[in-house]
C-alpha cells in the first residue's frame, strides 16, 4: 500500500501521521514544494515580532521526527501533474529534474496561496505577501537588513491585525488600511470598532473604507501608497494580506469539482469523486455544521481534522468529518476577539430569523484585583430559542478563547440558549463568578428572543 500525499502543512502531516498510526506497514510519501514540513503558519507573526526566537521553533515536528516514523519526505519537489487512470504523479525539483511516483491512494493537501490584488507596484522591493515560510524569511531578512521605520498593512483581517502588533513590537510605526467599514469583518461592527480603538491606543493608525489603487517607488527606501478617497501615505514596508485562495490547479486538472471560493468539493469522508483521490485542508470546501451546506473556512483546526480523516480513510478506515462551526480566536495586543457559529449578519444572509444581544460582564469577581470587562454577543433564533452563534471580546485574563469553546461545544450539541444556564461551569473568584459571564449573557439573550416571539 503506497499512500502519496501532496502537501506537508497541517492537513498533509495530519493525514500521514494518522495513516501511520493505523498501518505500520504502509509506505507513506509526502511531496513538498518547499523545504518546510509541518510549520505553523499561525505562528508566523510571533516569529516576526521576535517573541518566537527562531523560525525553526515554528515546526510542530522536525524533519527527523517525521521521517523517524517511516514517513518519507521529498522536499523542494513540486507536483506538476496527475494521471488518475494510471495512478501516477509527476514532479519537478529545483534543478529541473523530473520524477514519477505511483500511488495506491492520493491525498491532495495543497493548501492556499496569498491573494495578490491587481495593484500596480505589487512587485516592488519592500512589498510583501505573507503565508508560507519562504515569504516569512524574505520579510525577516528585509526587517534585519533594511531596518524600516514605517509599515503599511493592506488588510485588516486576522493576519493584518496580528502583524500590526508584531511590527509595533519591533518599533515600527504602523498603519492598517482596509476596504471594509471596520477591521476584522468576521466579527460584528461594534466589536470591530472596539478593536480599532484598542489599536489606536497602541499607536496603530487605522484607515477603513479605503481601497488601495497603486504602490509607487518614491526613493531608494520609501514607497508611496495611494487609494480611493484621496488616500496617500508613504511607508518603507508594505504588507499585502488581502486573504487567501485555495490552491486547486492539480485537482481541477483531473476533474475534481470546485465550489465555494473555487475550493475543491469533497464528501464527509474527504473523497473528491475521482477514484482513489482524497483532499483536505485549505484547498477544500468545509461542511458547515450549523448551516448544513458547504462554506470555505481555511482554519488550522479544520485542516488538522480533515487531514486526519483523509489519512484514516485512505488507509481503509471509515470516518466522517463532523463539520465546522468556524470557531476562531485572535489576540490583538491586550485583547482577544473570538467567535463561533453565525453572526447576526450571517444568519440573515442564510435566511434565518435571528436576534443578537450584546452584554457586558466582568471576567471574574470584581472585588478580586485585575477584573476586566468582557463583551459578549449571543445570536439566537427567536422562536425556538436555538443558539446560532456568539462573539466575545475581552482581555487575555478573561479567558476569551476558552469561553468561546464552551459556546462552540453548546452549538455542536444543538443546545438552546436557555440550556446554557444549566451548564455546570467552574467558579473561583480570581477566574469567574457563580453565574459565569456566558450564562448571564445567555439569560439576557433568552429574554430578548422570548419577547421577539
> What proportions of the chain, in percent to the nearest 5, are helix, strand and coil?
30, 30, 40
Cα–Cα distance measured from residue 148 to residue 202, given in angstroms and rounded to the nearest whole number: 19
Tracing cell 510571533 back to the chain, one arrives at: 46
- The reported pLDDT for the residue numbered 450 is 66
* Helix, strand, or coil (residue 138): helix
Strands lying side by side in the sheet with 88-93: 77-83, 88-93, 98-102
* Helix, strand, or coil (residue 149): coil
pLDDT mean by block of 10 residues, the chain; 453 residues: 96 97 97 92 94 92 94 96 97 93 98 93 96 94 97 97 97 97 94 97 97 96 97 98 95 96 97 98 97 94 97 97 96 97 92 93 94 95 92 94 96 95 94 94 84 57
Helices (H) and strands (E) in the chain, counts: 11, 25
E strands, 139-227, in order: 150-154, 173-177, 204-207, 212-217, 223-227
- DSSP class of residue 386? B
Q: Dump the DSSP string for 324-381.
A: B---EEEEETTEEEEEEE--HHHHHHTT---EEEEEEEESS-TTSTT--EEEEEEEE-
Q: Spell out the domains of the chain, with CATH numbers in brackets.
A: 2-113+244-314 (3.50.50.60), 127-240 (3.50.50.60), 334-452 (3.50.50.60)
* CB proximity list for 145: less than 8 A, separation 6 or greater: none
- The reported pLDDT for the residue numbered 94 is 84
**Nearest Cα to Cα of residue 373 among 203, 191, 201, 199:** 191
* CB proximity list for 266: less than 8 A, separation 6 or greater: 272, 278, 279, 280, 284, 285
- The reported pLDDT for the residue numbered 448 is 77
Cα–Cα distance measured from residue 223 to residue 94, given in angstroms and rounded to the nearest whole number: 32
- The reported pLDDT for the residue numbered 181 is 95
117 touches 102 (CB < 8 A): no
pLDDT, mean over the chain? 95
pTM: predicted TM-score of the whole model, two decimal places? 0.94
149 touches 167 (CB < 8 A): no
- The reported pLDDT for the residue numbered 453 is 54
- The reported pLDDT for the residue numbered 222 is 97
- The reported pLDDT for the residue numbered 446 is 85
* CB proximity list for 342: less than 8 A, separation 6 or greater: 290, 291, 350, 352, 354, 379, 388, 389
**Nearest Cα to Cα of residue 223 among 329, 132, 146:** 146
Query: Nine-digit cell at 314?
Result: 485512505
- The reported pLDDT for the residue numbered 451 is 63
Is the Cα torsion angle 344, 288, 256, 159 positive or negative in sign?
Answer: positive
Amino acid at each position: 500500500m503506497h499512500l502519496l500525499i501532496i502537501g506537508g502543512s497541517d492537513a498533509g502531516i495530519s493525514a500521514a501521521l494518522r495513516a501511520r498510526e493505523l498501518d505500520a506497514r504502509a509506505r507513506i510519501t509526502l511531496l513538498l514544494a518547499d523545504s518546510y514540513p509541518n510549520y505553523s503558519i499561525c505562528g508566523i507573526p510571533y516569529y516576526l515580532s521576535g517573541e518566537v526566537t527562531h523560525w525553526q521553533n515554528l515546526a510542530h515536528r522536525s524533519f527527523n521526527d517525521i521521517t523517524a516514523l517511516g514517513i518519507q519526505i521529498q522536499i523542494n519537489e513540486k507536483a506538476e501533474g496527475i494521471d488518475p487512470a494510471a495512478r501516477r504523479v509527476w514532479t519537478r525539483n529545483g534543478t529541473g529534474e523530473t520524477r514519477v511516483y505511483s500511488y495506491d491512494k492520493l491525498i491532495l493537501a495543497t493548501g492556499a496561496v496569498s491573494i495578490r490584488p491587481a495593484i500596480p507596484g505589487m512587485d516592488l522591493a519592500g512589498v510583501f505577501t505573507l503565508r508560507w515560510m519562504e515569504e516569512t524569511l524574505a520579510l525577516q531578512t528585509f526587517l534585519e537588513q533594511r531596518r524600516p521605520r514605517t509599515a503599511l498593512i493592506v488588510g485588516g483581517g486576522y493576519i493584518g491585525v496580528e502583524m500590526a502588533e508584531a511590527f509595533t513590537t519591533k518599533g515600527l510605526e504602523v498603519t492598517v488600511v482596509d476596504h471594509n467599514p471596520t477591521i476584522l469583518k468576521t466579527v460584528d461592527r461594534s466589536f470591530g470598532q472596539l478593536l480599532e480603538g484598542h489599536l489606536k491606543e497602541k499607536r496603530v493608525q487605522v484607515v477603513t473604507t479605503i481601497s488601495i489603487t497603486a504602490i509607487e517607488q518614491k526613493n531608494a527606501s520609501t514607497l508611496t501608497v495611494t487609494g480611493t478617497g484621496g488616500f496617500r501615505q508613504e511607508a518603507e514596508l508594505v504588507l499585502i494580506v488581502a486573504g487567501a485562495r485555495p490552491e486547486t490547479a492539480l485537482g481541477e486538472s483531473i476533474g475534481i469539482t470546485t465550489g465555494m471560493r473555487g475550493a475543491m468539493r469533497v464528501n464527509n469522508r474527504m473523497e473528491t469523486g475521482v477514484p482513489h483521490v482524497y483532499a483536505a485542508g485549505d484547498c477544500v470546501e468545509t461542511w458547515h455544521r450549523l448551516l448544513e451546506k458547504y462554506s470555505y473556512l481555511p482554519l488550522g483546526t479544520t485542516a488538522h481534522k480533515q487531514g486526519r480523516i483523509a489519512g484514516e480513510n485512505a488507509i481503509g478506515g471509515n470516518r466522517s468529518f463532523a463539520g465546522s462551526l468556524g470557531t476562531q480566536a485572535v489576540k490583538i495586543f491586550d485583547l482577544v476577539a473570538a467567535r463561533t457559529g453565525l453572526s447576526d449578519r450571517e444568519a440573515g444572509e442564510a435566511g434565518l430569523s435571528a436576534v443578537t444581544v450584546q452584554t457586558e460582564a466582568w471576567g471574574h469577581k470584581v472585588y478580586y484585583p485585575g477584573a476586566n470587562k468582557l463583551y459578549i454577543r449571543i445570536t439566537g433564533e427567536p422562536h425556538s430559542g436555538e443558539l446560532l452563534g456568539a462573539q466575545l471580546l475581552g482581555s487575555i485574563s478573561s479567558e476569551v478563547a476558552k469561553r468561546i469553546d464552551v459556546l462552540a461545544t453548546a452549538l455542536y450539541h444543538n443546545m438552546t440558549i436557555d440550556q446554557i444556564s444549566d451548564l455546570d461551569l467552574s467558579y473561583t473568584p480570581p477566574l469567574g463568578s457563580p453565574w459565569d459571564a456566558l450564562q448571564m449573557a445567555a439569560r439576557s439573550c433568552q429574554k430578548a428572543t422570548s419577547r421577539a416571539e
